[in-house]
Amino acid sequence: MSQLQTVQDAFAALTGLGLAITDSEGALLTKPSGREDWLSRLLAEEDGAPRLLQELAGIWKSGRPGSPALDYEIEAGVKLAAVPIPADTGKAGIVWGAFFAEARMSKALQDYEAHSGRQEGSWATLRAELPLLNAGEKHRLLEQLSRFAQTASLLLRQDDGDAAGGKRHQAHLIREAAQLVDKPGFRLMDALRLLKQADRSLGFVGYAHRAEAMRFQIADLVGEQAAGLLGTSFSLGEGFLGQAATTGQPARWTEMERDPRSVFFSRLGIRPHTLYAFPVLLEQSVRGVLFAGTVREETAGEEVYELGQTFASLLGARQVVDMLRDERNKHYIRLTMMMEIARTLTLVEERKRAMFILIDMSVNLFESPYAAVFLRQPSGKAQVVSRGLPQREAEARLRDIVPRYEGFQEDELSADLVTMREREGVRYLECPLVSKGKFLGVFLIGLKRPTDEADARELFLSLAMMGSAALVRIAERERQQGPSVVQLLHRTVKQWNPEAYSHTLEAKELGAAFAKERGLSAEETERIGDACCLAPLEGEIIREWIGDPGLLHVLNEMREIVKAAGEQPVSQADAAFGEASQIVVLALGSAGYAFKAGRHPLGAVSPALRKRFEAFRERRETLELELSLEGPVDVKEPVKSMKELGLSSREQEVLRLVATGRSNREIAETLFISEHTVKNHMTNIFQKLGVTDRSQLIALVYQRGYGQN
């Protein structure tokens, strides 16, 4: 287009005409040149548009399609020469050759005006200044204009070609950039290299990402001439790039060598001539600044500015995609992790392990500096499992927590039960552990960064929910499955102290029967029996294996009663210890169980309960005796039924001797075995025949007519 302008200017100067070139709609393609006084009339604007020019173009287009040339009479005596620019090879257009006056017409008008004494038309003043052309001169003018139109056509075609080529190149770069940012392994450097290809005059292209709230860092750069920029940073509002980052609008600066704002570059020995900056926006926030520049005294084309903005939009779009992808991955990771944790918590059978999982998973997922679970025990005690909290601090947290959850009545967990708190400058999340209306305790995690809250809250609630469900399930399971663990432990007693085992077996039966008579619940009755069985075991072993807090409580109290024997006034016993624990002590004492340190703990049991227990025992012994003596003869069973009960041949021998009234020592001597072995056999026989003592065994043997055959 610049070449056409040059030719047009030269032609106007040569011919002394005013020249304008428009497209077929009357829009100027070049800057008019030549006689300004003429052109000003032609180009006079009305409502911001050259009205006359556009009207003439409209008339031309509709009335004279393909006309080779035209002398258009604006008004009497004033003509406008115009020729079309051939449209077959290039852009269609019109060359307007400004005005002239026809000699013949001008003479006639002058005569008329002289005669009438007035001037005709608004162009009369101009007409006086216009060159007067006769027919031959007019023909030559139109020919000249036609030749110029031919030249203009060639130049326009070339310009069209350049523009189309430029557009094609630009479109190619945009397409490449779009493909680049769409690739999974997208590298920013590839996009920068691509943008640098847009214009050879570009010396560098780079990207500054937002490293902090107020600071941007240049971590990617193409162009050796500006290599010093790599790794440098600038603040919002600092220099040219900081200015673009502040406004969020694309900008360009030229001839910036002497601009004081270029100190950011000059201190690094870089002196850009032109600089472009394109902020990359994500949700209305500037995430980075794409920039490019020339370092010689060159100015890149307009297309760099347009292309840069497109690249910045594509990078923004890529960042949105990355953000969404990250978000999706984050949710996916969370989901899979939570599924894994849920699966583990579903399988775990120990309360302590469930608490460990809750704590360790929190530390892993939130990088928490500390995590703790506080459980409320039925005994009124607390169990605390923590990581990262010193014991004293854990106790302080417990004191802090307890009043807050007094009278807590929620049935299930919900998001509003998660609270954010702060202690000694560290923020932490706290949530009660509750499931099926049971308040179990409190779970808390410290947060590494204050910004973690929003992310952590939801996940923390999920963990608390899973933990609550697991803890309730474990508690129920422990209650249901407790006896099997108790039985296992009781069997170990049998191995190392058969006598104590025998006594505890008797005490179990006695205690449970008394509890039943007293109207205690099935759960408590079961606990009394279990506590009798576990009495000989050390506290440490029991704590390790027994999960039922109620049973642990009975055992603890039983030990307290033993300790308190002789130290505590009897009148206070009722208030000091639970009935279940006192029944355990009564049953064990009655069965002849030897308490440690030789203390007889019955003194620490409530006198009223003790009296009732003694009455119960008396009634029971009488009944047993009656049963032994009055067993109906017709229920006798053949001796083979003993075999059916699963007694071994050795046990049958032992039983036979028992039935004859031999003592253990006598049986041992008869069978050439130790007394200890006899006791073992006796224990097994008791278990297999479902009796608890020797007298019951003898009664049963005679009931079944042992030895008659």
Partner 1 sequence: MRDELTLRLQLECTLFFEANPYTLESVQGLALRLGRRPDHLETILGRLVELAILERLGEGQRAIYRYIQPAVAADSDLEWARP
Site for partner 1, rule CB under 8 A: 326, 329-330, 332-334, 336-337, 340-341, 344, 352-353, 355-357, 359-361, 363-365, 367, 374, 376-377, 379-389, 391, 394-395, 398-399, 402-403, 406, 543, 549, 552, 556
* Nearest C-alpha neighbor of 558 from the set 599, 521, 607: 599
Angular region, 530: left φ>0, alpha ψ -120 to 50, beta rest? alpha
User: Min. distance of Cβ 328 from partner 1 in angstroms?
Assistant: 11
Interacting residues of 316 by C-beta distance below 8 A, sequence separation 6+:
280, 281, 282, 287
Cβ–Cβ < 8 Å for 22, 29: yes
User: Which C-beta is closer to partner 1: that of 403 or that of 569?
Assistant: 403
- Rg for the chain (alpha carbons), in Å? 53
Closest approach of Cβ 350 to partner 1, in Å?
11
Q: Least CB distance from residue 552 to partner 1, whole Å?
A: 7
Q: Is the dihedral of CA 70, 71, 74, 76 positive or negative?
A: negative
Handedness of CA 659, 514, 623, 635 (dihedral sign): negative
Q: Among residues 341 and 528, whose Cβ is nearest to partner 1?
A: 341
Question: How far apart are CB 397 and partner 1 at their closest, in Å?
Answer: 11
Q: What does the alpha-carbon distance between residue 702 and residue 682 come to, in Å, rounded to a whole number?
A: 17
Q: Closer to partner 1 at the Cβ: 7 or 398?
A: 398
The residues that bridge with 429 in the sheet, in sequence order, are 420, 445
Q: Residue 154 or 472: which CB sits closer to partner 1?
A: 472
For residue 60, give Cα distances in angstroms to 38, 321, 481.
20, 53, 104
Run of H or E including 552: helix 549-564
CB of 433 to partner 1, least distance (A): 13
Task: Give min distance, CB of 181 to partner 1, in A.
Answer: 21
- Which two structure tokens, joined as six digits, stand for 205? 């292209």
- Least Å distance between CB 162 and partner 1? 49
Element (H, E) at 238: none
- Smallest gap from Cβ 484 to partner 1, in A, equals 21
In the complex with partner 1, the residue whose CB is nearer, 392 or 640, is 392
- For partner 1, give the closer residue by CB, 302 or 340: 340
The CA-to-CA distance between both ends of the chain, in Å, stands at 133
DSSP lists the bridge partners of residue 75 as 78
Nearest-approach distance from CB 224 to partner 1, in angstroms: 35
Q: Using an 8 Å Cβ cutoff, are 129 and 77 in contact?
A: no
Task: Pick between residue 224 and residue 406 the one whose CB is nearest to partner 1.
Answer: 406
Strands across the sheet with 251-254, in order?
233-235, 215-222, 204-210, 285-294, 274-282, 251-254
Least separation in angstroms between residue 432's CB and partner 1 is: 13
DSSP per-residue string spanning 252-304: EEES-TT-GGGHHHHTTT---SEEEEEEEEETTEEEEEEEEEESSS----HHH
* Angstrom distance (rounded) from CA 227 to CA 377: 67
Residue 92 vs 363, nearer CB to partner 1: 363
Nearest residue (CB) to partner 1, 296 versus 381: 381
Say how far apart CA 159 and CA 156 lie, in whole Å.
5
Give the containing element (helix H, strand E) for 236. none
Nearer to partner 1, 355 or 512 (CB): 355
Please say which residue, 73 or 349, places its beta carbon nearer to partner 1. Answer: 349
Nearer to partner 1, 38 or 428 (CB): 428
Q: From the CB of 530, what's the least distance to partner 1, in Å? A: 18
Cβ 359 to partner 1, closest distance in Å? 5
Tell me which residue of 8, 3, 38 sits closest to 22, measured CA to CA.
8
Q: How many CB atoms lie within 10 A of CB 232?
A: 17
- Would you say 241 or 552 has its CB closer to partner 1? 552
Please report how close the Cβ of residue 395 comes to partner 1 at its closest, in angstroms. Answer: 7
Q: How far is the CB of 443 from partner 1 (least distance, A)?
A: 13
Q: How far is the CB of 262 from partner 1 (least distance, A)?
A: 41
Is residue 663 left, alpha or beta, with left meaning phi > 0 and alpha meaning psi from -120 to 50? beta
Smallest CA-to-CA distance from 374 within 423, 431, 421, 412 is with 431
Strand pairing class (371-376; 438-446): antiparallel
**Nearest to partner 1 of 134, 336 (CB atom):** 336
Q: What are phi and psi of 275, to 5 degrees?
A: -135, 135
- Residues recorded for the chain: 709
Query: Quick one: 147 or 543, whose CB is closer to partner 1?
Result: 543
Contact between 155 and 7 under an 8 Å Cβ cutoff? The reply is: yes
- Burial of 98 (C-beta count, 10 Å sphere; 0-12/13-18/19+): buried
